Every structure is written in C-alpha cells, then in structure tokens.
Amino acid sequence: MDILQLPPVNWQRMSDAVDRVRQRLLHVSACLKKAGVPYAVIGGNAVAAWVSRVDEAAVRNTRDVDVLLRRDDMPAAIAALSHAGYVHRRVASLGGGAMDVFLDGADGKIRDAIHVLFAGEKPKDHSSHPNADVTESEDAGEFMLISLPALVRMKLASWLEKDRMHLRDLADVGLLDRSIVDLLDSSLGERLIQILENPE
C-alpha cells in the first residue's frame, strides 16, 4: 500500500478499535454466562486485566478475544453465540492444525474473532503442557478472568513471541518474581527465569 494514499490519522478510529474489542469481550462473556457455559477470558485481555490492577498506564491493547472452554461445552457455546450473531468456523492455526473461532457476523475478520482454546488440552501438538481448566478463574465483575497462576503457566507453555511479551508485561508491574519459580515444574520455571533475567 502506498503510504501517500493513506487517510490521515484519526484518533477516534483508534479509540473505537480498542472499545470494540472490549465490547466484544463483554458481549461474549454475557452470552456464555446466560447460557450457563463455564468459560474464562485468557490471552492478551487477561494479561491487560491483571496488569491494570497494578498500573493502568502499563496496559497493552489487544485486537482479539481469547476464551477458554471445555470441549464438551462447545455445542452449547456454538448455540449461544450463534444466537447472538456470531459465526462459528474452524480455521487453520499459525502453529499448524485447526482452531475454533467465532466471527463477528458473516463478514467478520479472523483478526477480530473470538478465539477458543480448550481446557485441559495442549494448544499445539508440540506444546509442553495442557491448558488450565475453566475452574482456575475468578469473577472479575463483568467476566470470568483466568487466575494469574494459570495464565502464567499457559503463557510459559505456549512460549510464542507474544507470550514472552505478555510475561514481561506482568513482570514489569511486579506480578511475577522468582518466588513463583518454585511453584512451576522445572521446564516452565527455567523459562520464567529467562523472562525475569532478560526484561527487555
């Protein structure tokens, strides 16, 4: 794209983009709660929620919504979210395999979708540890938030570049330190030490 043809910077569009993610998270959470489907908000929004409890200026925006569900609850989740206008798809995952997503309507984009991870399952075949269970969560008022220990374990197990960035965000506001290392198995503990010793 020719940068000379780009429209001018629009602060309202930037603000609206952030707000749309928030509204989608709250809407999806309300739909799942109404349908009695256990879930937990995970991923970048969970990191932002935890970071905001310490320093709202350190919050990093994210473009999509990640939720943790039990596979047995997927039919109920599909019914609830389809009724609310979301469109279920199975799409290719960046790490290989397929991923379940809910598009924001028939014309929704994957980058704006709700991404589903399954509780107790490895997110990728090569992942070192399974995902947490939805019971490892707390009521954050407007949604169920994955617990900090479970979030940290999942980020350490996934170990993608964005996961390491999120772990550094948590460490930067004092939510992670060496006292947590003893609560992890050796492989995850070694990864956390890498994060703590290389904050940049």
Nearest Cα to Cα of residue 180 among 195, 192, 167, 168: 192
Using alpha carbons, list the distances in angstroms from residue 150 to 21, 120, 129.
Answer: 23, 11, 11
Q: From CA 177, how far away is CA 103, in angstroms rounded?
A: 37
Nearest Cα to Cα of residue 199 among 58, 50, 95: 58
pLDDT in tens, 8-20: 888 888 888 899 9
CB neighbours of residue 118 within 10 Å: 18
Going by pLDDT thresholds of 50, 70 and 90, the confidence category of residue 200 is confident
Q: From CA 56, how far away is CA 41, in angstroms rounded?
A: 18
Tell me the sheet residues that pair with 100: 90, 116
**For residue 6, what pLDDT is reported?**
81
Question: What is the enclosing helix (H) or strand (E) of 114?
Answer: strand 114-118
Determine the residue type at 129. Answer: H
pLDDT in tens, 66-103: 999 999 999 999 999 999 999 999 998 766 678 999 99
CB neighbours of residue 46 within 10 Å: 28
Instruction: Report DSSP state, residue 64.
Output: S
Residues in the chain: 200
